[in-house]
A and B are shown apart, each in its own frame.
Chain A
Amino acid sequence: MKFAPRLTACIPAFMLLTSAGLAHAESTLRIGLGSDPDMLDPATARTYYGRFVFSAMCERLVDVDQHLQIVPGLAKDWAYSEDGKTLTLNLREGVTFQDGEKFDAQSVKYNIERYLTLPGSLRKSELSSVESVEVTAPYTVVFHLKTADAALLMQLTDRAGTMMAPEATAKGNVAAHPVCSGPYEFVSRVQQDRIVLKRFENYWNKGAYHFDKVVFLPIPDASVRLANLRAGDLDITEGIAASDTATVKADSNLQLASTTGLGYMGLTINLANGTANTNTPLAKDARVRQALSLAIDRDALNQVVFQGQYTPANQAFSPASPYHADIPVPKRDIEKAKSLLAEAGVKTPLTIDFLVANNPTSQQVAQVLQAMVSEAGINLNLQMTEYATLLDRQQSGEFKMSMSGWSGRPDPDGNIFSFLNTKGGLNDGKYSNPQVDQWLQEARLTSDVEKRKALYKQVVVQENLDDPLVYLYFEPRIFGINKKVTGFVPYADGLIRLQGLALNK
């Protein structure tokens, strides 16, 4: 047949090509994410998953270590003034951005001002205490604050403190090609398929990073993500489902790493948002809410839905946070719940409309709750809603009770202020307690850890009496890793940090 000679002639060429490829084999780390990140511009980004990419691609003024303590980043050291209204940062020298620009105090000023003034910037509220940024020396920058803000430094460990290359960013269309100063630079992105980064050759700490390329692969389906890991198509993945941990542990090619996260899940109760849904015993009488909380067996919930991997919760601060208040989670007490309801003069069964997001986990939790609280005479009417609709209804007050969570922030203020403060932006239930407001404000103003702990503990105690938010559980961060990968350390904020990671051949 005619084509065979040509084909055989191709073979040596083919072999040459593949061997050439093998000789220069790039080491690539493939990371699985639970969802496609949104815009790769720290000013407008809002997804949790985007932070994974920023962690590899960019650098921040300061960072956190494993124990959520603040450590130097692009700033070598820092100091607050006596009154807490000035923050001075001394910057690292000799750092360049991925396009060759020099990093200095001017770059910091540019970035912070951009976060404060760019229309559509979601960092404005995070940096709301910043009045102005002043360059006092080539590598020294001073933040002038409107009020003392203990949470500011923590904000600078996240997107609000991410430094982009000023010239490249000023050109516009940042999300299409972000330019930062981190160990890996942006190569390409296909929406909902992959984000590819390659090693930044002039990174100041190049030696600590052992991969040539990093590829992020968003795979929304947890079981498909796991299948990829097991098939060897992923090296690391975040978001291993609780029910899959046994499978990962049993697989000799994989290792499991998990840590308590900072996020929680709870029941938001509409106390005062609009009048249509707040004329109920649930909204008006704290005893009814306490009864609800007492009717829930958080341990059993953890066992049934999460195979015991999650942690029961009664506050916003998880055990991973230094501000976790040492108050035991109440055990289920049906008798007390019933008597509280009787005291409040409620006729059982009490029906509560319950808004739930229509994903399998939330639905499971909701059904378990429904079964549990029915024994105390509370009848939960489950209303499964699509996520976008749920957010809408929560904001506009079209709900009586809704199940919603928070992914968690390292600084305690970020976990509680917006939810409980009267003017909090995420306070959908419109809870308002002037005493709590005062404690929350005070906790913002001081950097003294002990003082803040005491204040937050008072808030937690009060919260457990008022029960505007019934906390259910803290979510762990569970990672599945190929055995060949060494050096992985799980962080409580759930992000994968690439420093020190290596592939064992």
Chain B
Amino acid sequence: MTVSVISVTTSLPVREPNRVLRKFLRNKSAVIGAVLVVTFALRALLAPWISPFDPIKADFMAVRKAPSALHWLGTDELGRDILSRLFWGARTSLMAGCVSVIIAIVIGVPLGLIAGFWQGWLDSVISRVVEALLSCPFLVLAIALGAFLGPSLGNAMIAIGLSAMPIFARLTRAQVMSIRNEEYIEGARAIGLPDRWILWRYVLPNVLSPILVQATLAIASAIITEASLSFLGLGQQPPDASWGAMLNTARSFLEQSPWMSIFPGLAIFLTVQGFNLLGDGLRDALDPRSE
């Protein structure tokens, strides 16, 4: 997981959506990223309707056929159409990416909010735990969790989500702490507004932008991690399609059937690149200091 040292912002760019959008659209890379992500999402969602073949049904007559008019991207070791499996694999990756990040946010952000806002002993405890989790190599944590829960897509998502949680917690905490001392927050507390209301109305919206950026980058990272876990035999299990698992089996046929490795690898690359570009673009667009 790449460490993203997010710069802390203090204004409220969320209140100026038009300006943000215009800045975003001016950034060519960001637009490319957005296009890649949208295409990926569409392919994933529409997979059942756009796949020319059944991704799971084995066809022993068509084992490892090169790309042709019938099978545009060729077939795999059990005769299944690779193009169809790429579409269905996109569903796996989309789920893996989104669900794990949602898990990470749902656990991490509240922890960060609590730690940053109320500080004190709660902060100490939470920060210790987060630091401990961060000291564990990310992939190792994911592997151990994956092995513990058992190889399956659902468990891989939980494993990745839990491993990604610390970064969101730490990010949120840093953001909250920088805002906390702002005058309007102090003023609100002075008037006697309840803490929860302050968190919801003032703090959370400010935290949103860096979280959004981090979430996009985290989805990219989660997709690669899911592929890595599948590569190691955890994660999505056959016969269901997963780009990482496809790469794993393709390794045995690298020379005989290169199309089995090229296309899933490309798929992963383009999708992850798309999310990274998108995340970058969002960060630049939401950063009030860049022109």
Residues of chain A at the chain B interface (Cβ within 8 Å): 221-223, 241, 243-244, 246-247, 300, 303-305, 358-360, 363-364, 366-368, 370-371, 382, 384-386, 389
Bits for B197-236, please: 1 = Cβ < 8 Å to A, else 0.
0000000000000000000000000000000000001100
The reply to whether B63 and A386 form a contact with Cβ atoms under 8 Å apart is: no
Asked if B256 is an interface residue, CB under 8 A from chain A, the answer is yes
15 additional contacts, CB 8 Å, given A363-B238, A368-B58?
A: A221-B251, A303-B60, A305-B77, A364-B238, A366-B238, A367-B78, A367-B239, A368-B60, A368-B78, A371-B57, A382-B238, A384-B237, A386-B151, A386-B233, A386-B234
Q: Which single member of A223, A366, A371 contacts B254 (CB below 8 Å)?
A: A223
The reply to whether B239 and A382 form a contact with Cβ atoms under 8 Å apart is: yes
Interface of A is mostly: helix
B85 to chain A minimum Cβ distance, whole angstroms, is 13
| Cβ contacts A to B, 20 pairs, < 8 Å | A223-B251, A247-B255, A247-B256, A303-B60, A304-B77, A358-B151, A358-B234, A358-B237, A359-B233, A363-B237, A364-B238, A366-B238, A367-B58, A367-B78, A371-B60, A384-B152, A384-B233, A385-B150, A385-B151, A386-B234
Q: Which residues of B contact A223 (CB under 8 A)?
A: 251-252, 254
Size of chain B's interface in residues, with CB distance under 8 A? 23
Residues of chain B at the chain A interface (Cβ within 8 Å): 57-58, 60, 63, 77-78, 147, 150-152, 233-234, 237-239, 248-249, 251-256
Q: Which residue of A lies closest to B237 (CB)?
A: A384
Q: A367-B58, A384-B237, A386-B233 in contact; A222/B256 too (CB < 8 A)?
A: no
5 closest A-B pairs by beta carbon, nearest first, are A358-B233, A384-B237, A371-B58, A363-B238, A360-B249
Alpha-carbon distance A371/B239, docked complex (angstroms): 10
Q: Which residues of B contact A243 (CB under 8 A)?
A: 252-253, 256
A219 to chain B minimum Cβ distance, whole angstroms, is 13
The reply to whether A382 and B237 form a contact with Cβ atoms under 8 Å apart is: yes
Q: Which residues of B contact A246 (CB under 8 A)?
A: 256
B218 to chain A minimum Cβ distance, whole angstroms, is 26
A371 to chain B minimum Cβ distance, whole angstroms, is 4
Q: Which residue of A lies closest to B253 (CB)?
A: A243
> Which of B78, B233, B256 counts the most A-chain CB atoms under 10 A from its CB?
B233
Alpha-carbon distance A300/B249, docked complex (angstroms): 19
Number of A-B contacts (CB under 8 A): 65
A343 to chain B minimum Cβ distance, whole angstroms, is 29
Q: Which single member of A241, A304, A382, A384 contacts B78 (CB below 8 Å)?
A: A304
B84 to chain A minimum Cβ distance, whole angstroms, is 16
B233 to chain A minimum Cβ distance, whole angstroms, is 4
A358 to chain B minimum Cβ distance, whole angstroms, is 4
The reply to whether B60 and A304 form a contact with Cβ atoms under 8 Å apart is: yes
Q: Which residues of A contact B251 (CB under 8 A)?
A: 221, 223, 360
Q: Which residues of B contact A367 (CB under 8 A)?
A: 58, 78, 238-239
Q: A360-B249, A384-B151 in contact; A304/B239 too (CB < 8 A)?
A: no
The reply to whether A384 and B58 form a contact with Cβ atoms under 8 Å apart is: no
The reply to whether B78 and A222 form a contact with Cβ atoms under 8 Å apart is: no
A379 to chain B minimum Cβ distance, whole angstroms, is 13
Q: A358-B233, A382-B238 in contact; A304/B249 too (CB < 8 A)?
A: no
Alpha-carbon distance A247/B233, docked complex (angstroms): 26
Alpha-carbon distance A386/B156, docked complex (angstroms): 14
Alpha-carbon distance A244/B239, docked complex (angstroms): 23
Q: Which residues of B contact A371 (CB under 8 A)?
A: 57-58, 60, 78
Alpha-carbon distance A304/B249, docked complex (angstroms): 14
The reply to whether B248 and A360 form a contact with Cβ atoms under 8 Å apart is: yes
Q: Which residues of B contact A386 (CB under 8 A)?
A: 147, 151, 233-234
B272 to chain A minimum Cβ distance, whole angstroms, is 23
Alpha-carbon distance A489/B153, docked complex (angstroms): 45
Q: Which residue of B lies closest to A385 (CB)?
A: B151
Q: Which residues of A contact B248 (CB under 8 A)?
A: 360
Alpha-carbon distance A244/B256, docked complex (angstroms): 8
> Which of A221, A223, A359, A360 counts the most B-chain CB atoms under 10 A from its CB?
A360
A40 to chain B minimum Cβ distance, whole angstroms, is 28
The reply to whether B233 and A241 form a contact with Cβ atoms under 8 Å apart is: no
B253 to chain A minimum Cβ distance, whole angstroms, is 6
Alpha-carbon distance A108/B51, docked complex (angstroms): 68
Q: Which residues of B contact A359 (CB under 8 A)?
A: 233
Q: Which residues of B contact A358 (CB under 8 A)?
A: 151, 233-234, 237
The reply to whether B239 and A241 form a contact with Cβ atoms under 8 Å apart is: no
Alpha-carbon distance A459/B44, docked complex (angstroms): 53
Alpha-carbon distance A156/B192, docked complex (angstroms): 86
Q: Which residues of A contact B150 (CB under 8 A)?
A: 385, 389
Q: Which residues of A contact B77 (CB under 8 A)?
A: 304-305, 364
